[in-house]
């Protein structure tokens, strides 16, 4: 579970801004939204509201950038070029990111500071459930122009580890690379906690942007009959006109055809080197190697015609909203069954408001879920205290010098019977565009006399 995220001097964030999934004090409603794993508490839902340009998407971008840094080891170019520009300190101070998260009943804190294309500081700690004590797993700082690396206390009991530390400091860890990524890649005895902390970014954190496509669905639906049944029932419930999801298999030669011999040979060679693997050819087509047999699988969405016969459509023949909903199928299945965190930017994009409200309402009322759903949205119909706790509703707003600030509805101490949707649209909580001058704008004066 995601517990807390802090960002400073990145995108529209100036001073430190904290986003937390910790339950608020004295909030007892929707008690099943409060996960508790061995004393580690976290909320299951969070919705982030705000005007266009207020910084909602920048929160998602910052978490996504940190995820990229950890998994790839490389500093995202945005961390160099998109520091906060409306402060005199922005061009001289570092980007700072901190994240706390729980993995298999252990709580981790990872922190990094980046200036230009170099890492100034990076550390990983393991915390007790109350977040009052912390134990170092590793830290990396720059002292007098040189990298200084430290590990947990028992690391130094093994003399070989002292040599490893020196090798990491002088050779393996580069100034512009993640030490977390490099240390994890060693798979060395004693690094089990570090590897567990790293695996959360790879296996327990998923981010869906407005441009994300439902990658890998053909393989998932074909191989997992339980998921296929779930996907079919869910998509039909969305009332998109889809009657059935089908996966069509072909010999790889039939897919590429006789005129693409070179591409066929290259794809066959790649798959032959990796048994039981798949490669995306298009958003809705994968090439697979299953037990030495290479073929393609295409996702087809079947609708019924006037004669009640099933007619197949390719993914690119469906609406943007339908494609977006297909991306949510895997997310919904995951957050029901697994301890995962899904972060979705612009949740309602291209999707009818009633469908989004039904999805969120069902997830909210389900007492058996295991995962977290965090999303940004403009959809005011979701502002319902039967769906959200007050500590699960966030607002993003720009201050007078253009920096994003964030706060929860629970900070404003509203009563649980208040119509928060009405209050939001009236501007009581902030997070909405200020259009006071729009009605006074005489836009006709800009029209050329020639027209």
Summarised one tens digit per residue, pLDDT across range 163-177 is: 999 999 999 999 999
Residues 183, 251, single domain; the answer is: no
Residue 45 and residue 127 in one domain: yes
Return the closest-CA partner of residue 328 out of 306, 314, 349.
349
Report whether pLDDT(442) > 80. Answer: no
Token pair in block for residue 332: 């919904």
- Is residue 324, in this structure, part of any structural domain at all? no
If asked whether residues 201 and 223 sit together in one domain, one would say no
CB 414 within 8 A of CB 420: yes
Choose the most confident range, by mean pLDDT, from 37-41, 125-129, 322-326, 341-345.
341-345
Is residue 29 located within the same domain as residue 86? yes
User: How many independent structural domains does the chain possess?
Assistant: 2
Q: How far is CA 280 from CA 10, 207, 210, 263, 283, in A?
A: 33, 19, 20, 14, 7
Task: Tell me if 232 is assigned to some domain.
Answer: yes
Clarify whether residues 107 and 127 are in a common domain.
Answer: yes
Within-domain flag for 340: no
pLDDT greater than 70 at residue 91: no
Within a domain: 330? no
Query: In sequence order, what are the beta bridge partners of 19?
Result: 5
Do 222 and 206 sit in the same domain of this protein?
Answer: no
Please, are residues 99 and 5 in contact by the beta-carbon 8 Å criterion?
yes
Higher local confidence (pLDDT), 144 or 304: 304
**In a domain? residue 326:** no
pLDDT reported for residue 215: 80
Q: Are 188 and 309 in the same domain?
A: no
β-sheet bridge partners, residue 34 = 43
Which structure tokens are listed for 240?
A: 């998109």
Rg (CA), the chain: 25
**Calpha distance 381→401 (Å, rounded):** 30
Asked if residue 266 and residue 182 are part of one domain, the reply reads no
Contact yes or no for 330/226 (Cβ under 8 A): no
Within this chain, do residues 204 and 349 fall inside the same structural domain, yes or no? yes
Instruction: Specify if 261 maps to a domain.
Output: yes
pLDDT band for position 277 (50/70/90)? Answer: confident
Please count the CA atoms within 13 angstroms of the CA of 118 that sit on its side-chain side: 9
Within a domain: residue 329?
no
Is residue 325 situated within a structural domain? no
| 376 and 425 together in one domain | yes
Cβ neighbours, 10 Å, residue 68: 18
273 and 368 share one domain: no
Structural domain containing residue 369: 1-210+345-451
Residues 158 and 228 in one domain: no
* Closest to 411 in 3D by CA, of 26, 132, 153, 7: 26
Q: Is the pLDDT of residue 435 over 60?
A: no
CA 333 to chain centre: 16
CATH code, domain carrying 206: 3.40.50.300
The residue with greater pLDDT, 208 or 26, is 208
């Amino acid at each position: 579970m995601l517990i807390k995220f802090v960002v400073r001097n990145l995108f529209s964030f100036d001073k430190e801004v904290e986003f937390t999934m910790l339950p608020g004090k004295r909030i007892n409603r929707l008690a099943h939204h409060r996960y508790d794993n061995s004393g580690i508490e976290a909320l299951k839902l969070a919705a982030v509201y705000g005007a266009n340009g207020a910084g909602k998407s920048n929160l998602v971008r910052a978490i996504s950038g940190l995820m990229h840094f950890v998994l790839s080891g490389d500093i995202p170019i945005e961390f160099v070029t998109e520091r906060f520009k409306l402060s005199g300190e922005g061009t001289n101070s570092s980007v700072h990111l901190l994240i706390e998260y729980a993995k298999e009943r252990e709580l981790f804190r990872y922190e990094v500071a980046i200036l230009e294309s170099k890492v100034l500081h990076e550390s990983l700690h393991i915390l007790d459930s109350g977040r009052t004590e912390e134990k170092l797993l590793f830290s990396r700082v720059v002292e007098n122009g040189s990298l200084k690396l430290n590990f947990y206390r028992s690391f130094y009991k093994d003399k070989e580890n002292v040599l490893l530390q020196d090798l990491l400091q002088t050779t393996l860890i580069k100034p512009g690379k993640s030490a977390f990524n490099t240390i994890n890649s060693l798979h060395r005895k004693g690094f089990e906690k570090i590897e567990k902390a790293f695996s959360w970014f790879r296996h327990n954190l998923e981010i869906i942007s407005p441009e994300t496509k439902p990658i890998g669905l053909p393989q998932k639906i074909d191989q997992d009959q339980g998921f296929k049944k779930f996907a079919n029932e869910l998509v039909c419930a969305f009332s998109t006109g889809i009657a059935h999801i089908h996966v069509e298999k072909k010999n790889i030669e039939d897919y590429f055809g006789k005129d693409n011999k070179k591409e066929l040979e290259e794809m066959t060679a790649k798959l032959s080197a990796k048994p039981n693997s798949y490669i995306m050819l298009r958003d809705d087509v994968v090439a697979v190697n299953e037990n030495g047999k290479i073929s393609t699988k295409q996702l087809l969405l079947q609708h019924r015609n006037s004669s009640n016969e099933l007619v197949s459509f390719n993914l690119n023949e469906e609406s943007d909203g339908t494609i977006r909903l297909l991306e949510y199928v895997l997310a919904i299945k995951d957050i029901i069954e697994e301890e995962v965190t899904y972060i979705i930017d612009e949740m309602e994009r291209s999707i009818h408001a009633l469908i989004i409200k039904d999805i969120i309402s069902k997830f909210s009322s389900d007492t058996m879920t295991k995962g977290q759903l965090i999303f940004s949205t403009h959809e005011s119909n979701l502002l319902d205290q039967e769906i959200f706790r007050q500590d699960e509703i966030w607002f993003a707003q720009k201050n007078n010098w253009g920096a994003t600030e964030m706060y929860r509805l629970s900070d404003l101490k509203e009563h649980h019977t208040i119509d928060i949707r009405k209050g939001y649209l009236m501007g009581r909580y902030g997070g909405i565009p200020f259009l006071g001058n729009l009605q006074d704008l005489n836009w006709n004066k800009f029209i050329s006399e020639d027209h």
